[in-house]
Amino acid sequence: MVMPTAQSAPIMLELVDEDGRTIGTAEKLSAHQPPGHLHRAFSVFLFDADGRLLLQQRALGKYHSPGVWSNTCCGHPYPGEAPFTAAARRVYEELGVSPSLLREAGTVTYNHPDPASGLVEQEYNHLFAGTVTRLPQPDPEEVAQILFVTPEELEKKHAEGPFSAWFMTVLDAARPAIRELTGPAAGW
């Protein structure tokens, strides 16, 4: 596994085929340039003890989708890094907490252009759902703010916008695992 250091740039991503098999690597920004290159990613959905989803508003300094609301955490594994490991790592880096529970919630492939940035999210996305028991301490370079929401509150917040281009795709794909995790009473 090649992990970037302070002296090394650029950040590399794993390119994959439609079945999620690694076929190469590409620099992070170039993988997101139109028309985009299918690459490995992950999305995390964490819930508190009351079954509320932890949302994050992406920091305004992010090169891609700054200031929009999105799922708890998302990102890209380093080449050779397991998606589960990358998801747990990024939750800690962005939110300052480790999930109390984190389990696989499927995969989804999509191609979502982001009109605001002109970039493209063409991803083979590994989904994870879990719980968090401590209050997150977000890194302000990554996260502008956080919010725990019920399904009803999410519906209202989503209508107010803006949300990441990929948010509803990954949420809908993860719903079966989320329902299993939170129980039917939570309403997910």
pLDDT of residue 117: 83
pLDDT of residue 185: 87
Catalytic pick among 14, 74, 94, 121 = 74
Mean pLDDT of 9-34: 95
What domains are there in the chain, each with its CATH number? 12-182 (3.90.79.10)
Strand bridging mode 119-131 / 101-114: antiparallel
pLDDT of residue 7: 52
Nearest to 102 by CA among 80, 82, 122: 82
141 is catalytic: no
* pLDDT interval class at 63 (50, 70, 90): confident
In angstroms, the Cα distances linking 73 to 23, 54, 59, 76, 92 are 25, 9, 12, 10, 10
Across 6-10, 17-21, 138-142, 154-158, least confident range: 6-10
Residues 33, 47: Cα–Cα separation, whole Å: 33
123 is catalytic: yes
Taking only the tens place, the pLDDT of each residue in 66-101 is 999 999 999 999 999 999 999 999 999 999 999 999
Catalytic pick among 14, 94, 121, 123 = 123
Question: Using an 8 Å Cβ cutoff, are 107 and 124 in contact?
Answer: yes
